[in-house]
């Protein structure tokens, strides 16, 4: 269970006022839940994820995972990055087995586990390939396998499908939904794509920007697997869009500095 | 007609023109003819000590090279990781890099004497600074996402991080550094051997000069050029190509 209480984060700028990215953000994620953080770029959602992952440790408020506050990155909270972050000098198999190697598993044991996980993301034909030989979607599958093989309690996903084309993204979303239903990991999923958030998660937290706050929460009570044709999903999309349009207006105004509306 | 073939034709024409020039203009002993050079080469290897000189030069070169790569990589790592070290000692290294390593030979002779150690010392110095700069760039350019991913999977930030992530991530830069370091080491070595004593190619050059044996001088120059080219081509270039291919960095070249 992830508990985030009154978390604020301020970046000092070289010139001018310090910049408040996150302002008094609070929410909880129950064990086994699939929660999306949805917001326009610059709302601090990635910053928040980096705090939970432990990549950054200076902030106000408290972040705890199972009651323990976070001091460093750890294999219980594995991140899937937008830019896959695979090691180009290792094969797919070695990339996936990397975390197990750090755990001290024997070569045979870690290759067996890694191979199983690679099979689960449908890439068993490509175990001996290097990352640059794979397509964007395949790389992201490897990244997911690399995260799952560690058997973490929490999966933190930082816009993992944002750089993929529409079709690939759709397929990966379906796969992720399936993986979640099978494994019931706690997933915190960051995205700026409304449809993606609704299709995948049980709860969608919409963030406001400048400073980043949780603006509104929506729960998705549609039957699994979530389908676009479901009227429930459809109406939710319209409602969230209305909230986000407000926020986008604010950004545009801030950026071009005169009256403007979408 | 492929490149290797064109190169061979070019070399043959060059040698013929050289021999013809020698016969037509009769410039005498100050520059040998191809035949004389060949003779000196043959004699040097069968009767003389050209082979031993080459081997002992290579031995010194390899010792210095390994030292330089090791020290250079470590220094570069320290520069990249510790800002104060970079701002202070890093600045000094940039200055030292501009000093031709042969300038340290007088010091080396005073400290170690006219012997092997002096030559190895200046050869190492000649290659270390470049290597450390390449290593510094390589480690500074490691993408943050790789370091984060590694820490997340439990490498910590000590030895395992260094050997399993930082070193391989910096490899494309390191190999460039290694190539340049090799060339620098060759230069420093030959210069050092010209002055210091002991069997070696530089010393052979010096000895041949004092007896006016220009054919042997040319032989040594050719040996140095051939070893330099071969080692770069057969060893470092191949290694670099393989690494670039494996890391998916070769597309920019094609």
Which alpha helices (H) appear in chain A, and where do they start and end?
45-53, 92-102, 107-120, 136-148, 166-183, 194-200, 231-256
User: pLDDT digit string (tens) for B101-136?
Assistant: 889 989 999 999 888 899 999 999 989 999 999 999
Chain mean position to CA A17: 30
**Sequential DSSP letters for B89-143:** IIHHHHHHHTS-GGGGHHHHHHHH-SSHHHHHHHHHHHHHHHHHHHHHHHHHTS-
Question: Quick check: B251 pLDDT over 80?
Answer: no
**Two tokens at A127?**
């175990």
Q: Are the Cβ atoms of A85 and B148 closer than 8 angstroms?
A: yes
Q: Scanning every residue of chain A, which has its alpha carbon at the shortest distance from the alpha carbon of B242?
A: A89
Give me chain B's average pLDDT, please.
88
Q: How far is A165 from chain B (nearest CA, A)?
A: 21
Contact predicate B172/B243, CB 8 Å: yes
Rounded Cα gap, residues A30 and A34, in angstroms: 9
pLDDT at B212: 87
pLDDT at A252: 75
Q: How far is B230 from chain A (nearest CA, A)?
A: 27
Residues of chain B with a CB closer than 8 angstroms to some CB in chain A: 143, 145-146, 148-155, 160, 164-165, 168-169, 171, 246-248
From chain B, the residues in CB contact with A131 under 8 A are 248
User: pLDDT digit string (tens) for B156-207?
Assistant: 888 889 899 999 999 888 998 998 999 899 889 988 888 887 788 888 898 8
Question: Which of A52, A65, A73 has the most B C-beta neighbours within 10 Å, making it the best mutation to test the interface with B?
Answer: A73
Q: Is A110 on the interface with B (CB under 8 A)?
A: no
How confident is the model over B73-91, as a mean pLDDT? Answer: 90
pLDDT at B250: 65
User: pLDDT digit string (tens) for B18-75?
Assistant: 999 988 888 878 888 888 889 988 988 888 888 999 999 999 999 999 999 999 999 9
Contact predicate A200/A159, CB 8 Å: no
Per the listing, tokens 């450390």 go with B132
How confident is the model over B241-252, as a mean pLDDT? Answer: 75
pTM of the model: 0.81
Tell me what ipTM this predicted complex has.
Answer: 0.86
pLDDT at B73: 93
Q: How far is B164 from chain A (nearest CA, A)?
A: 9
Q: Is A132 on the interface with B (CB under 8 A)?
A: yes
Q: Are the Cβ atoms of B152 and A88 closer than 8 angstroms?
A: no
Q: Are the Cβ atoms of B148 and A103 closer than 8 angstroms?
A: no
From chain B, the residues in CB contact with A102 under 8 A are 153-155, 160
pLDDT at B75: 93
User: In DSSP terms, which residues pair with A2 in a beta bridge?
Assistant: A29, A65
pLDDT at B72: 94
Rounded Cα gap, residues B182 and B131, in angstroms: 9
β-pairing verdict for A203-208 and A34-38: parallel
pLDDT tens by residue, chain A, 262 residues: 888 888 888 888 777 778 888 888 888 888 889 999 998 877 888 888 999 998 888 888 888 888 888 888 888 899 999 888 899 999 999 999 999 999 888 999 999 999 999 998 889 999 999 999 998 889 999 999 999 999 898 999 999 998 888 898 999 999 999 999 888 899 999 998 888 999 899 999 988 887 888 888 888 887 888 888 888 888 888 888 888 887 777 777 767 665 555 5
pLDDT at B254: 40
Q: Is A81 on the interface with B (CB under 8 A)?
A: yes
Rounded Cα gap, residues B178 and B70, in angstroms: 10
pLDDT at B142: 92
User: In DSSP terms, which residues pair with A34 in a beta bridge?
Assistant: A187
pLDDT bucket at B253, cuts 50 / 70 / 90: very low
Q: How far is A6 from chain B (nearest CA, A)?
A: 25
Q: Are the Cβ atoms of A55 and B148 closer than 8 angstroms?
A: yes
Question: Quick check: B4 pLDDT over 90?
Answer: no
pLDDT at A36: 92
């Amino acid at each position: 269970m992830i508990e985030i209480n009154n978390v604020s984060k301020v970046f000092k700028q070289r010139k001018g006022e310090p910049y408040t990215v996150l302002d008094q953000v609070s929410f909880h994620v129950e064990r086994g839940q699939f929660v999306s953080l949805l917001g326009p770029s610059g709302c601090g959602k990635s910053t928040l994820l980096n705090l939970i992952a432990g990549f950054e440790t200076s902030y106000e408020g408290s972040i705890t995972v199972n009651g323990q506050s976070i001091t460093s990155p750890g294999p219980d909270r594995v991140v899937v990055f937008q830019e896959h972050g695979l090691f180009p000098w290792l094969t797919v198999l070695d990339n996936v087995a990397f975390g197990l190697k750090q755990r001290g598993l024997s070569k045979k044991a870690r290759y067996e586990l890694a191979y199983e996980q690679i099979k689960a993301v449908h890439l068993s034909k490509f175990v001996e390939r290097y990352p640059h030989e794979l397509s964007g979607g395949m790389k992201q599958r490897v990244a997911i396998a690399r995260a799952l093989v560690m058997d973490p309690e929490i999966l933190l996903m930082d816009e993992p499908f944002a750089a993929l084309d529409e079709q690939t993204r759709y397929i990966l979303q379906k796969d992720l939904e399936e993986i979640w239903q099978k494994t019931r990991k706690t997933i915190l999923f960051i995205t700026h794509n409304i449809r993606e958030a609704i299709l995948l998660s049980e709860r969608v937290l919409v963030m406001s920007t400048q400073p980043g706050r949780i603006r509104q929460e929506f729960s998705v009570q549609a039957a699994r697997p979530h389908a676009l044709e479901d009227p429930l999903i459809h109406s939710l999309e319209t409602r969230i869009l209305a909230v986000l349009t407000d926020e986008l207006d604010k950004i545009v105004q801030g950026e071009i500095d005169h009256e403007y509306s979408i | 007609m492929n490149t290797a073939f064109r190169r061979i034709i070019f070399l043959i024409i060059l040698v013929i023109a050289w021999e013809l020039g020698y016969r037509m203009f009769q410039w005498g002993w100050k520059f040998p003819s191809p035949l004389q050079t060949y003779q000196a080469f043959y004699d040097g290897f069968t009767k003389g000590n050209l082979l031993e000189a080459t081997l002992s030069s290579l031995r010194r070169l390899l010792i210095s090279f390994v030292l330089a790569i090791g020290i250079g990589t470590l220094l570069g790592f320290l520069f990249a990781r510790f800002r104060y070290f970079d701002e202070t000692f890093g600045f000094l290294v940039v200055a030292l890099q501009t000093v031709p390593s042969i300038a340290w030979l007088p010091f080396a002779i005073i400290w170690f004497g006219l012997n092997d150690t002096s030559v190895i010392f200046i050869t190492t110095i000649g290659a270390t600074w470049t290597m450390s700069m390449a290593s510094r760039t390589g480690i500074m350019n490691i993408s943050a996402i790789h370091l984060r991913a590694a820490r997340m999977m439990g490498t910590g930030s000590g030895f395992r991080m260094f050997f399993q992530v930082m070193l391989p991530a910096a490899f494309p830069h390191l190999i460039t550094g290694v190539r340049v370091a090799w060339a620098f080491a060759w230069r420093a070595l030959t210069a050092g051997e010209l002055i210091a004593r002991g069997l070696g190619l530089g010393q052979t050059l010096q000895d041949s000069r004092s007896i006016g044996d220009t054919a042997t001088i040319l032989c040594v120059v050719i040996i140095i050029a051939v070893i330099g080219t071969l080692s770069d081509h057969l060893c470092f270039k191949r290694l670099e190509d393989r690494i670039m291919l494996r890391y998916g960095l070769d597309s920019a070249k094609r």
